[in-house]
Homo-oligomer: A and B are copies of this chain.
Amino acid sequence: MNKPTVHDIAKEAGVSLATVDRVLNARPGVRKQTIARVQEAVARLGYVRDTSAANLARQRQYRFVFVLPEGPSQFVDTLTAALREATAAQIADRLLVKIVTIPAHDPHGIVRVLQGLNPARLDGVAIMAPETPQVRDAVARLRNAGLAVVALVSDLPNAPRDYFIGINSIAAGRTAGLLMGRFARAGGEVLVATNSLRSRDSLERRLGFDDVIAADFPGLAVLPTVESFDDPRRMEAVVAEVLRSRPRLVGIYSMGTGNTRILDALRESGRAGELVSIAHELTPATRRGLESGAVTAVITQNVGHLIRSALRVLRTLCDRTPIFEAQERIRIEIVVRENLP
């Protein structure tokens, strides 16, 4: 027996094609019991809609917008590159993707951009932005307008997003902590640096990191977090100072952006290679760091998977078909010099 079609359903349920169609596409004008009869037939025959035929028939276009932070960030650059690559490939069947950028640290600017999106001309949105009440409202507005909304990289747990595509920050921090503890067995002090602890991701990474160090590696003392507050030079200066003044320093954990400057300071100090240094996200800077030995390990997420997963999830949300969870779980990857992709 081959794949059942709408015709088979019609025969099985003893109704006409038109009725089957009305039921399948949730169009009005069908009695409850008739709906039930059709659905039973669907279940009995194991009918599944042929998505490509359906999309062909309805001339489906998936119009998605990716909302990404603007400004210099190697991570966002690789993300954008992956997105362009994915939409250029044939994966991009019936796909129309636009990228809009938002000012990274201006909640009102972000909301202005989100409100500028016209839901009538869109089917889905992927958002990478810090969660604020205004962002939550904007997300709610888009969802209420019938759009599929996914959070990308950074979750919006209290906003009514449909899905989150990214990694758990606490687990990522714990992984960094475990590696730091294992690599810096001898014990000593560890520097933790980030742009700002006001970002939930940084905070959660720090929580996870501290948790593991405290529980399993009593020989390590984690120093208070150094924050650069969007000033790369400040970051470089502070890190250089710590490197100079702390002879017992054995490790550096960079939780967020600004890896380039931290690595510069490390190189300047002459202690690269001797210290354990762990950073997040595989970018040109961290890649060079791994190759040169200045970076010991990078905790990262596969940007290509991230993007493709977002596209797939947005699509299945639009189609209202079930999401294949196993495929969409983004892994926390550990990259060292020898398994650089």
Contacts and interface: CB of A to CB of B under 8 A. Distances in A.
Contacts of A174: 338-339
Given A56-B50, A186-B185, A324-B90, A338 B85 contact: no
30 contacts: A48-B90, A50-B93, A51-B90, A52-B52, A52-B53, A52-B55, A52-B93, A56-B56, A82-B326, A89-B324, A90-B322, A91-B324, A171-B339, A174-B339, A175-B336, A178-B336, A182-B182, A182-B296, A183-B183, A185-B186, A208-B338, A299-B339, A302-B331, A308-B327, A331-B341, A332-B338, A332-B339, A333-B333, A333-B334, A334-B339
Q: How large is the interface on A (under 10, 10 to 19, 20 to 34, 35 or more residues)?
A: 35 or more
B296 A338 contact: no
Interface of A: 48, 50-53, 55-56, 82, 85, 89-91, 93, 171-172, 174-175, 177-179, 182-183, 185-186, 208, 212, 296, 299, 302, 304, 308, 321-322, 324, 326-327, 329, 331-339, 341
Contact of A183 (B182, B186, B302): B182
Given A52-B55, A174-B339, 9 more contacts: A50-B93, A51-B52, A90-B324, A177-B338, A182-B296, A208-B338, A331-B339, A333-B334, A333-B339
Contacts of A172: 339
